[in-house]
Structure 1
Amino acid sequence: MALKDLSFLFLVFALIAEVIGTVGGFGSSVFFVPIANMYFDFQTVLGLTALFHLSSNLSKIALFRKGLDKKLLLYIGGPSVVFVIVGGIASAYIDAAYLEIGLGIFLIGLSVLFLINSHLKVKANKREAVTGGALSGFVAGMLGTGGAIRGLTMAAFNLEKNAFIATSAFIDFFVDLSRSVVYVINGYVTSEVLIYIPFLLVIGIVGTYIGRYILSHISQDSFKKISLILILIIGVTTLLNVVLGNILGLE
């Protein structure tokens, strides 16, 4: 793919996804995956998402590294890394249409759950931390986004904001590094989309800085509600695109 063939609108959407993901606390993938799915096949989306996340998480680590909670890094991060590999391998054996349907249902269910019960919490103990880490890792490997599940798990431990972001970023970095290897082996990162990777790496860094600035000036709770509504809309759109596409024979 030549530079003239780049979709700059897609890159703008990627930047918006990174900013919203940083401020909203769900991570950019929950927005980036369905947006990228409008431009690329689902397996390619998985590969691009993992590589995109590497840069954004490195930025978060650099900005918030002093707040790292090493115990949660072990309890949540360890299972996440193991099960993201399992999910990434499994994604190669499931039809992409089913993965897209799964993504749509996941986003709708997630947003509705949080909108109805904004105070939903997981018990703050080791077993829940390990279970949440394993589930978030598997979903991330299979569908490309599992940060919201990890965020729900980490919220139970009432971490200070900087500690929350730093610990989540460290976990996400190792998760993305692991699944990037699996996705490359699976052939999800093709030569046609390599030209996007340098742009996405820069967007990951810039979007994190913008998100950090916005976060210091507005209420995170208010912005999270807006994020949830956007997630719901994206989930419905993703599901309708797949279902209507199959019905009308557009796929």
Structure 2
Amino acid sequence: MQLILILIGAFIVFILSTLTGGGASLLLMPLVAAVVGVKAVAPVMAISIGMSSTSKVFFFYKYIDWKLFAWLFPSTIIGSILGAKMFAELSSDYLQILIGILLISTVFQFNKIEKRTGYQVKAWHFAPMGLVVAFLSGLIGGVGPLMNSAYLNYGINKESLLGTRSANAILLHLTKIISYAYFGYVTGEVLKYGILIGLSSMIAVYFGKLILSKMSEVFFRKIVVGSMVLSGALMLWKNREFISDLVATI
């Protein structure tokens, strides 16, 4: 029954993820943690999101911005390896709170949602940003659509955002899977849940693509920003006990 609930949840979440440009890991993490344990969340999500990203690349391949991918390539590998290495060594609570606040703050970056914000993001900016995001993703398992505001400010359309982000996600999560396996976190149970959730997510991407094709660019931007704010709120909610203890000590 738990497995069925996870697969149904994954199907719904990955349809939403296709429509919002990411964030599935944050929405699915609590459910996965309840079934397989907190320590297994990061490797399970790496496998499942890697599979869903492969499906997205298949559907949006012709829209991929290979210039951006080239800038992201080396920093994604380096950042994800370093993050996975520190996965078992550092407390990620403070980082998750900071990321949650950053995601929520994106709502203030858009005066008019159909336009870019005041700063111009260039292709080379994605190299340092990708390094930081890959590191955080390897460390805490997922950071949601943290870079989506950068993609939007670069001036990318919805199909190109999904294709480019997914191509980079394959690289990111494949590196994480190898790193987690090296450090002993990829068990038989992790593989089982990761692959089953991944298969559910690949089917969900197809239905998400059908809905996305009928969606305007302006509406897409609105739900991307909305999903970032929601992801940030969920991340803070997930760490509410830690925040409460932190506030009590001040």
Q: Report the Cα distance in structure 1 between the residues aligned to 2:142 and 2:163, rounded to whole angstroms.
A: 18
The amino acid of 1:114's aligned partner reads T
Deviates more, 1:69-78 or 1:140-149: 140-149
| Contact map agreement 1:21 1:30 (CA 8 A) in 2 | no
> Which residue of structure 2 aligns with residue 58 of structure 1?
54
1:193–1:68 distance in 2 versus 1, CA, 3 Å: closer
TM-score, normalization by structure 1: 0.83
Matched, 1:238 2:238: yes
> Which residue of structure 2 aligns with residue 112 of structure 1?
104
TM-score, normalization by structure 2: 0.83
| Contact map agreement 1:79 1:133 (CA 8 A) in 2 | yes
* Structure 2 stretches lacking a partner, 5+ long: 111-115
Q: CA deviation at 1:189?
A: 2.2
Q: Report the Cα distance in structure 1 between the residues aligned to 2:56 and 2:229, rounded to whole angstroms.
A: 25
Tell me how many residue pairs correspond in the alignment.
Answer: 239
CA displacement 1:80-124 (0-9 Å, x = unmatched):
121111111111212xxx3245324422x1332112223547633
Q: Report the Cα distance in structure 2 between the residues aligned to 1:135 and 1:44, rounded to whole angstroms.
A: 22
| Secondary structure in 1 matching 2:154 | coil
> Which residue of structure 1 aligns with residue 86 of structure 2?
90
Q: Report the Cα distance in structure 1 between the residues aligned to 2:32 and 2:96, rounded to whole angstroms.
A: 13
Overall identity of the aligned pairs, in %: 20
Q: Report the Cα distance in structure 2 between the residues aligned to 1:47 and 1:101, rounded to whole angstroms.
A: 20
Q: CA deviation at 1:182?
A: 0.6
Q: Report the Cα distance in structure 1 between the residues aligned to 2:143 and 2:234, rounded to whole angstroms.
A: 16
Matched, 1:162 2:159: yes
* Structure 1 stretches lacking a partner, 5+ long: 247-251
| Contact map agreement 2:19 2:208 (CA 8 A) in 1 | yes
Q: CA deviation at 1:135?
A: 1.1
| Contact map agreement 1:104 1:238 (CA 8 A) in 2 | no
| Contact map agreement 2:104 2:230 (CA 8 A) in 1 | no
Q: CA deviation at 1:222?
A: 3.8
| Secondary structure in 2 matching 1:93 | coil
Q: CA deviation at 1:64?
A: 0.6
Q: CA deviation at 1:151?
A: 2.4
Matched, 1:125 2:114: no
| Contact map agreement 2:23 2:144 (CA 8 A) in 1 | yes
